Amino acid sequence: MFLTIEGIDGSGKTTLCGELKQLLPDAFVVKKKEFLRHSPTKIRSKVALLFEEMYGEASKQAARTKDRNLSDILRMAGWFHLIDQHAVEPRLKAGGTVIMDGWYFKFLARFATRNRHEFDLLNRVLVGLSKPSQTFYLDVSPELAAERKPAFTASECGVLDGYDKISTANFISYQRTQKVVLDRLAIENQWRILSPHTANAAQLAADIVQDINVNQF
């Protein structure tokens, strides 16, 4: 069983995954940053170079061109295929339960705000990835997400997509554009929509486990 938790930055994905781990102790929670830390040195070095090319200082200063966007798409696809091959697929084949702290959908949203062609291209290069048994979507407003976060990163504030600086206002504005796309994906793909505005993470985790037991994904 492959479960994914989705939402904008600051929506509470990692917190919810932690609560789910308490209720499903045999499940394996995939956190992309931890995957990188515990990967073989050869993989870490390749991904470090990939991230430097995509998010390093030189990348921030470079003009966003069609060729650069294509390179970012291919690098991002490589990153997710590495996670799938080394962290997700082996555990699913062994009959385990995998909980993903944000699969590739947030990145689809980022490319969708650039143009439809890039969104479609990223969709195509990610087509071979493991498909979730069910996706749970944290429907959190950008304003609440901003209140929850102690600090913001450049990518969360849209600095890589034309916003001028890291700030609360830019975070809210950029995350609002991401949420429009994620809302649409949630409807199109029939994700289970959760509202952290009315329930805490422990309650949401209990609801998810109940949902699993009833539907047997």
For residues 56 and 47, is the Cβ–Cβ distance under 8 A? no
Q: How far is CA 91 from CA 71, 97, 194, in A?
A: 30, 7, 26
pLDDT of 164 over the 50 cut: yes
| Count of H-run helices and E-run strands, the chain | 11, 5
Comparison of pLDDT for 32 and 144, the residue scoring more: 144
pLDDT of 179 over the 70 cut: yes
pLDDT of 49 over the 70 cut: no
pLDDT tens-place string over residues 103-114: 999 988 988 887
pLDDT for the residue numbered 74? 78
DSSP conformational letter for 84: I
Query: Cα separation of 150 and 154, whole Å?
Result: 14
CATH code of the domain occupying 2-212: 3.40.50.300
From 186, 156, 179, select the one nearest 168 (Cα to Cα): 156
pTM score of the predicted model:
0.84
pLDDT of 58 over the 80 cut: no
For residues 70 and 111, is the Cβ–Cβ distance under 8 A? no
2-6 and 98-101 beta bridge pairing: parallel
Domain positions in the chain are 2-212
For 193, the token pair is 């929509």
Proportion of the chain in helix, strand, coil states, percent, rounded to 5: 60, 10, 30
Give pairs for 119-125: CB < 8 Å, separation 24+.
Answer: 121/70, 121/73, 122/73, 122/76, 122/77, 125/73, 125/74, 125/77
Q: Which residues does 20 contact at the CB level (< 8 Å), separation at least 6? A: 3, 5, 27, 29, 99, 205, 208, 209
From 97, 104, 101, select the one nearest 80 (Cα to Cα): 104
pLDDT for the residue numbered 67? 57
For residues 3 and 170, is the Cβ–Cβ distance under 8 A? no
